[in-house]
Structure 1
Amino acid sequence: MKITNKSDMKQAFKIKCTRNDLFKIRPATGILDYNQTSNITLTYKPNGEVPENDKHHFGVYHIPAPEGCTCEGAWSEHYGPPQGEFRLKVQLCYQ
Protein backbone atom coordinates (compact mmCIF):
# COMPACT_ATOMS: atom_id res chain seq x y z
CA MET A 1 0.00 0.00 0.00
CA LYS A 2 1.21 3.53 -0.73
CA ILE A 3 0.18 6.60 1.23
CA THR A 4 0.84 10.17 0.06
CA ASN A 5 0.62 13.43 1.98
CA LYS A 6 -1.43 15.80 -0.19
CA SER A 7 -1.86 18.50 2.47
CA ASP A 8 0.25 21.65 2.72
CA MET A 9 1.97 20.63 5.98
CA LYS A 10 3.76 17.67 7.53
CA GLN A 11 1.45 14.86 8.64
CA ALA A 12 2.02 12.16 11.24
CA PHE A 13 0.35 8.88 10.32
CA LYS A 14 -0.59 5.78 12.26
CA ILE A 15 -1.91 2.53 10.78
CA LYS A 16 -3.83 0.05 12.92
CA CYS A 17 -5.56 -3.26 12.25
CA THR A 18 -8.33 -5.23 13.90
CA ARG A 19 -6.11 -8.23 14.76
CA ASN A 20 -2.40 -7.77 15.45
CA ASP A 21 -1.97 -11.54 15.74
CA LEU A 22 -3.16 -11.98 12.11
CA PHE A 23 -1.63 -8.96 10.37
CA LYS A 24 1.72 -7.18 10.41
CA ILE A 25 2.14 -3.52 9.36
CA ARG A 26 5.55 -2.04 8.47
CA PRO A 27 6.00 0.84 9.11
CA ALA A 28 2.95 1.36 11.32
CA THR A 29 3.77 5.01 12.14
CA GLY A 30 5.71 7.85 10.58
CA ILE A 31 5.81 11.44 9.38
CA LEU A 32 5.33 12.50 5.76
CA ASP A 33 6.43 15.86 4.35
CA TYR A 34 4.22 17.63 1.82
CA ASN A 35 3.80 15.50 -1.33
CA GLN A 36 5.93 12.68 0.12
CA THR A 37 4.88 9.05 -0.42
CA SER A 38 5.57 6.06 1.82
CA ASN A 39 5.29 2.37 0.95
CA ILE A 40 3.51 0.37 3.64
CA THR A 41 3.78 -3.43 3.80
CA LEU A 42 0.67 -5.26 5.03
CA THR A 43 1.36 -8.94 5.75
CA TYR A 44 -1.07 -11.73 6.62
CA LYS A 45 0.34 -14.11 9.25
CA PRO A 46 -1.55 -17.42 8.91
CA ASN A 47 -2.07 -19.19 12.22
CA GLY A 48 -4.50 -21.96 11.25
CA GLU A 49 -7.51 -19.69 11.68
CA VAL A 50 -9.21 -18.50 8.49
CA PRO A 51 -10.50 -14.95 9.01
CA GLU A 52 -13.86 -13.98 7.54
CA ASN A 53 -13.90 -11.52 4.65
CA ASP A 54 -15.15 -8.00 5.47
CA LYS A 55 -14.71 -8.65 9.20
CA HIS A 56 -11.23 -7.10 9.46
CA HIS A 57 -9.79 -3.80 8.29
CA PHE A 58 -6.76 -1.54 8.41
CA GLY A 59 -7.30 2.01 9.65
CA VAL A 60 -5.04 4.82 8.40
CA TYR A 61 -5.12 7.92 10.61
CA HIS A 62 -3.27 11.22 10.23
CA ILE A 63 -2.77 14.50 12.09
CA PRO A 64 -0.68 17.65 11.47
CA ALA A 65 2.89 17.26 12.72
CA PRO A 66 4.62 20.39 14.09
CA GLU A 67 8.05 21.18 12.63
CA GLY A 68 10.82 19.26 14.40
CA CYS A 69 8.39 16.93 16.17
CA THR A 70 8.68 13.14 16.20
CA CYS A 71 5.75 10.95 15.21
CA GLU A 72 5.27 9.77 18.80
CA GLY A 73 5.45 13.37 20.04
CA ALA A 74 2.85 14.56 17.53
CA TRP A 75 0.39 11.86 18.60
CA SER A 76 0.99 12.37 22.34
CA GLU A 77 0.38 16.15 22.04
CA HIS A 78 -2.71 15.79 19.82
CA TYR A 79 -6.16 16.10 21.39
CA GLY A 80 -9.39 15.02 19.76
CA PRO A 81 -10.04 12.88 16.70
CA PRO A 82 -7.49 12.55 13.90
CA GLN A 83 -7.64 15.03 11.03
CA GLY A 84 -8.29 12.20 8.60
CA GLU A 85 -9.18 8.52 8.63
CA PHE A 86 -9.43 5.85 5.95
CA ARG A 87 -10.47 2.22 6.39
CA LEU A 88 -9.26 -0.52 4.09
CA LYS A 89 -11.31 -3.74 4.32
CA VAL A 90 -9.49 -7.07 4.20
CA GLN A 91 -10.44 -9.47 1.39
CA LEU A 92 -8.52 -12.77 1.37
CA CYS A 93 -8.17 -14.73 -1.88
CA TYR A 94 -7.67 -18.48 -1.59
CA GLN A 95 -6.04 -20.57 -4.30
Structure 2
Amino acid sequence: MLALDWPSGPVNIVDDEPARASEWLPVYAHALGVPEPEFESVRMPDAVPVPEGLPANNDWARGASNAKSRNEYGWQPIYPTWRTGFSQTLTPPTQ
Protein backbone atom coordinates (compact mmCIF):
# COMPACT_ATOMS: atom_id res chain seq x y z
CA MET A 1 0.00 0.00 0.00
CA LEU A 2 3.03 2.27 0.36
CA ALA A 3 3.09 2.66 -3.43
CA LEU A 4 -0.28 4.43 -3.35
CA ASP A 5 1.47 7.50 -1.93
CA TRP A 6 4.20 7.54 -4.60
CA PRO A 7 4.16 9.73 -7.70
CA SER A 8 2.91 8.05 -10.87
CA GLY A 9 5.37 6.21 -13.08
CA PRO A 10 7.20 2.91 -13.18
CA VAL A 11 9.25 1.70 -10.21
CA ASN A 12 10.96 -1.69 -10.01
CA ILE A 13 9.87 -3.75 -7.01
CA VAL A 14 12.50 -6.46 -6.79
CA ASP A 15 14.85 -7.97 -4.22
CA ASP A 16 18.44 -6.91 -3.49
CA GLU A 17 20.08 -9.51 -5.72
CA PRO A 18 19.64 -8.85 -9.43
CA ALA A 19 19.85 -12.16 -11.27
CA ARG A 20 19.40 -13.46 -14.77
CA ALA A 21 16.36 -15.65 -15.32
CA SER A 22 18.77 -18.39 -16.38
CA GLU A 23 20.11 -18.32 -12.80
CA TRP A 24 16.93 -18.11 -10.70
CA LEU A 25 14.43 -19.99 -12.87
CA PRO A 26 16.06 -23.44 -12.41
CA VAL A 27 16.04 -22.91 -8.62
CA TYR A 28 12.37 -21.91 -8.78
CA ALA A 29 11.52 -24.95 -10.91
CA HIS A 30 13.30 -27.23 -8.44
CA ALA A 31 11.39 -25.69 -5.53
CA LEU A 32 8.14 -26.39 -7.37
CA GLY A 33 9.21 -29.94 -8.21
CA VAL A 34 9.09 -29.42 -11.97
CA PRO A 35 11.82 -29.94 -14.59
CA GLU A 36 14.34 -27.16 -15.05
CA PRO A 37 13.89 -25.17 -18.25
CA GLU A 38 16.46 -25.46 -21.00
CA PHE A 39 18.17 -22.22 -21.96
CA GLU A 40 19.71 -21.15 -25.20
CA SER A 41 21.86 -18.09 -25.54
CA VAL A 42 19.92 -15.76 -27.81
CA ARG A 43 21.64 -13.30 -30.13
CA MET A 44 19.69 -10.25 -31.16
CA PRO A 45 19.21 -10.18 -34.95
CA ASP A 46 21.40 -7.58 -36.66
CA ALA A 47 18.26 -5.84 -37.95
CA VAL A 48 17.08 -5.21 -34.37
CA PRO A 49 18.92 -2.35 -32.68
CA VAL A 50 20.32 -3.36 -29.30
CA PRO A 51 19.63 -0.75 -26.60
CA GLU A 52 22.69 1.08 -25.31
CA GLY A 53 24.30 -0.75 -22.41
CA LEU A 54 22.75 -4.11 -23.30
CA PRO A 55 25.09 -6.72 -24.77
CA ALA A 56 24.04 -8.19 -28.11
CA ASN A 57 24.04 -11.62 -26.49
CA ASN A 58 21.93 -10.77 -23.47
CA ASP A 59 21.46 -14.30 -22.05
CA TRP A 60 18.11 -13.54 -20.40
CA ALA A 61 19.27 -10.13 -19.22
CA ARG A 62 20.34 -9.16 -15.74
CA GLY A 63 17.59 -8.47 -13.27
CA ALA A 64 16.24 -5.04 -12.35
CA SER A 65 17.45 -2.76 -9.57
CA ASN A 66 15.35 -1.62 -6.62
CA ALA A 67 17.53 1.46 -5.97
CA LYS A 68 14.82 4.00 -6.83
CA SER A 69 12.17 2.39 -4.65
CA ARG A 70 14.65 2.13 -1.75
CA ASN A 71 16.33 5.53 -2.07
CA GLU A 72 13.40 7.72 -3.04
CA TYR A 73 10.51 6.00 -1.28
CA GLY A 74 12.05 4.14 1.66
CA TRP A 75 10.82 0.75 0.45
CA GLN A 76 12.61 -2.48 1.36
CA PRO A 77 11.86 -6.07 0.37
CA ILE A 78 10.47 -8.57 2.86
CA TYR A 79 12.99 -11.11 1.55
CA PRO A 80 16.36 -9.52 0.73
CA THR A 81 17.18 -12.06 -1.98
CA TRP A 82 15.26 -14.34 -4.29
CA ARG A 83 17.07 -17.27 -2.66
CA THR A 84 15.71 -16.47 0.81
CA GLY A 85 12.28 -15.71 -0.60
CA PHE A 86 12.14 -19.04 -2.43
CA SER A 87 13.44 -21.03 0.55
CA GLN A 88 10.99 -19.41 2.98
CA THR A 89 7.88 -19.44 0.81
CA LEU A 90 8.12 -22.41 -1.56
CA THR A 91 8.04 -26.06 -0.67
CA PRO A 92 8.44 -28.92 -3.14
CA PRO A 93 5.30 -30.99 -3.63
CA THR A 94 5.05 -34.17 -1.59
CA GLN A 95 4.87 -37.42 -3.49
Query: Normalized against structure 2, the TM-score is what?
Result: 0.25
Q: Greater helix percent: which structure?
A: 2
Query: Normalized against structure 1, the TM-score is what?
Result: 0.25
CA radius of gyration, larger in = 2
Q: Greater strand percent: which structure?
A: 1
Q: For CA contacts below 8 A with separation 6 or more, give which structure has more relative contact order.
A: 2
